Amino acid sequence: MPLQEILEKYPKTGDHLIEVLLEYQNTKMNHYLTEEELKQIAKYLNVTESRVSSVVSFYTFFSLEPKGQHVIQICHDVPCYVNDQPSLVKTIKNLLSIDVGQTTEDKLFTLEYTSCLGACDKAPAMRIGEKTFTDLTPNKVKAIISEYRGKRHA
């Protein structure tokens, strides 16, 4: 969805700055915001560019760098960690040949740590896009990633 279309759904104030930034970033295949887009958002919402930049740099879920089409967020909090999360991280790193914080060469996947996904009773957990996966094992992770490989955008 074009940025202007999203902006027009909101009042011209800074009250919904985070929602606007998130909604727009989520529409972009590579999940990131450009400096030019931040300027456009600041102008529409009548807030300073520095306010927009500081919000984007404060929250880790915003990015100024292109990410993979599918962002794998693996929970790094204690309940997941002690439930074999390190094996999952190792499996994903080996499968994708990337480290945490990196994007695959084909720009299909980015691997990140995240804090609790609210699924501690079914740890370990990870999220890809809007979907949370729980009770994970290395084999389940392999199957999930293989499924997402097939979801490549044209």
Query: Phi and psi dihedrals of 43, rounded to 5?
Result: -65, -45
**Residue 84 within binding range of ligand FES, rule CB under 6 A:** no
Q: Which residue do the tokens 């794998």 mark?
A: 72
Among candidate residues 130, 128, 120, 110, the one with its CA nearest the CA of residue 85: 120
Q: Which is nearer to ligand FES, 36 or 121 (CB)?
A: 121
**Residue 116 within binding range of ligand FES, rule CB under 6 A:** yes
Total of chain residues touching ligand FES, rule CB under 6 A: 10
**Residue 86 within binding range of ligand FES, rule CB under 6 A:** no
CB of 33 to ligand FES, least distance (A): 27
**Residue 89 within binding range of ligand FES, rule CB under 6 A:** no
